[in-house]
């Protein structure tokens, strides 16, 4: 097959770019040809680059010239990903069988957060439509600007109208499949293909020097502040201070650091915040970690960081939200905490793993098994079979 990948960016630091960077070589190893169409400029840089033999930039060439390049290459099927410029997806879907992978709540939420921020942060279960406009500003679903709300709503509705024009939708979890099936797409047109971890480097495991590791963006939805309170609770149960590393950037970083270093926590936590870390540094941190924390309050579409940790034999503790259950089975490769229990429930789960070496060893073995099960080979095999349908 001649497979065209489409994405906003060719280079970046996000999970989508990391995932896409691993696809061309895997597909080419199976005898397929791969090219790429991307919306942003080719001069855009980032830590991860998606490499294909041929590619076209909409920003550099203009959409007409870029699409002419695609037509000349003659793809058999297109596989589109994050794409703010919906003109691109509309033209692809009109010209070729196009499968769309929904890495987030695109077309099913005005802001994409799928969560309310007021009066408290909590997941939203609404079906996206006109009624969302009545919630957006009062519940602080996104930016507190009327213009932003209307622009995002218009984009979401345009994306929603494209659903029926794709050959099919691909999602990473059964949770996300249920989300998109709410839009009358039909059972046979929404496909769950779980993600896999792309290891940033093999580092020999050692005796853990980090009790709890957080890897993610510092936002309220990702729950770093909740983790600070949960780790304090866990330390009080265990009767010893915990070493916590919070790796990531974001608008909440300064708030999280202040919370972590409050005088009342000095006897409970030793916290460091190294900021964003590259794949090699992530691997080093994971090789020294006892438990990875996924305290997301919003319904994570998948939660790939847990599988990254699993490759190193690190069990996860997470709130039971969104697609987390796709890879995390309670008491097998980690612990699930009920979102309604908040920080105390999360802290209890942390303490249950950190306080018993036998439990942690068993969950570590389960984590490694999960990493083997959610492999790159399994993902590409399932994806290949789907793309071979070519909209049939």
Residue 390 has pLDDT above 90, yes or no: no
Q: What is the mean pLDDT of the chain?
A: 95
Per-residue pLDDT, averaged over 7-25, amounts to: 90
What tens digit of pLDDT does each residue of 372-381 get?
999 999 999 9
Q: How confident is the model at residue 343 (pLDDT cuts 50, 70, 90)?
A: very high
Q: Mean pLDDT over residues 291-303, rounded?
A: 96
Q: Which residue segments constitute the domains of the chain, with CATH numbers given?
A: 2-198+376-387 (3.40.50.2000), 210-373 (3.40.50.2000)
What pLDDT is attached to residue 65?
98
Which pLDDT score is estimated for 392? 53
Q: Which pLDDT score, from 0 to 100, does residue 201 have? A: 52
Is the confidence at residue 203, as pLDDT, over 70? no
What pLDDT is recorded for position 45?
A: 85
Evaluate if residue 206 carries a pLDDT over 70.
no
Task: Determine the average pLDDT of the residues in 258-272.
Answer: 95
Per-residue model confidence as pLDDT tens digits over 318-341: 999 999 999 999 999 999 999 999
Q: For 28-38, what is each residue's pLDDT tens digit?
A: 999 999 999 99
Percentage of the chain exceeding pLDDT 90: 91
Rounded CA separation 208/288 (Å): 4
pLDDT band at 279 (very low <50, low <70, confident <90, very high): confident
Q: What pLDDT is attached to residue 205?
A: 64
Place of tokens 């020999």: 204
What confidence score (pLDDT) does residue 297 get?
94
Whether the predicted pLDDT of 110 surpasses 80: yes
Mean pLDDT for the stretch of residues 183-204: 83
Confidence of residue 197 (pLDDT cuts 50, 70, 90): confident
What pLDDT score was predicted for residue 278?
Answer: 87
Lowest mean pLDDT among 141-150, 203-212, 234-243, 277-286: 203-212
Q: What is the pLDDT of residue 200?
A: 52
Q: Is the pLDDT of residue 121 over 70?
A: yes
Residue 199 is predicted with a pLDDT of 57
Assess whether pLDDT exceeds 70 at residue 204: no
pLDDT at position 230 is: 98
Of all residues in the chain, the percent with pLDDT exceeding 70 is: 97
Model pLDDT, residue 221: 94
Calculate mean pLDDT across residues 32-58: 94
């Amino acid at each position: 097959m001649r497979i065209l990948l489409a994405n906003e960016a060719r280079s970046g630091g996000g999970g989508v770019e990391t995932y896409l960077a691993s696809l061309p070589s895997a597909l080419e190893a199976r005898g397929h040809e791969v090219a790429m169409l991307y919306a942003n400029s080719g001069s855009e840089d980032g830590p991860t680059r998606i490499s294909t033999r041929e590619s076209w930039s909409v920003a550099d060439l203009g959409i007409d010239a870029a699409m002419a390049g695609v037509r000349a290459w003659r793809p058999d099927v297109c596989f589109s990903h994050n794409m703010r410029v919906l003109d691109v997806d509309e033209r692809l879907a009109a010209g070729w069988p196009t499968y769309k992978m929904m890495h987030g709540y695109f077309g099913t939420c005005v802001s994409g957060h799928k969560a309310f921020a007021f009066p408290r942060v909590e997941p939203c279960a609404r079906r996206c439509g006109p009624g969302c406009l009545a919630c957006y500003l009062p519940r602080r679903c996104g930016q507190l600007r009327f213009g932003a709300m209307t622009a995002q709503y218009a984009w979401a509705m345009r994306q929603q109208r494209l659903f029926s024009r794709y050959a099919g939708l691909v999602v990473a979890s059964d949770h996300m499949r249920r989300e998109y099936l709410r839009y009358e797409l039909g059972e046979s047109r929404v496909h769950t293909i779980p993600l896999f971890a792309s290891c940033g480097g093999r580092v020999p495991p050692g005796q853990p020097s980090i009790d709890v590791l957080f890897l993610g963006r510092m936002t309220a939805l990702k729950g770093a502040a909740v983790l600070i309170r949960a780790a304090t609770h866990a330390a009080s149960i265990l009767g010893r201070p915990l070493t916590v590393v919070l790796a990531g950037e974001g608008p909440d970083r300064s708030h999280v650091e202040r919370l972590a270093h409050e005088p009342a926590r000095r006897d409970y936590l030793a916290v460091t915040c190294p900021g964003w870390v590259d794949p090699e540094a992530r691997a080093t941190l994971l090789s020294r970690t006892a438990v990875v924390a996924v305290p997301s309050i919003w319904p994570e579409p998948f939660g790939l960081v847990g599988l990254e940790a699993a490759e190193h034999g690190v069990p996860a503790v997470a709130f039971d939200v969104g697609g987390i259950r796709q890879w995390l089975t309670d008491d097998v490769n980690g612990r699930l905490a009920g979102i309604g229990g908040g920080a105390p429930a999360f802290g209890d789960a942390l303490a249950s793993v950190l306080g018993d070496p036998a439990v942690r060893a068993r969950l570590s073995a389960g984590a490694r098994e999960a990493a083997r099960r959610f492999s790159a080979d399994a993902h590409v095999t399932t994806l290949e079979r789907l793309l071979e349908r070519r909209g049939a």
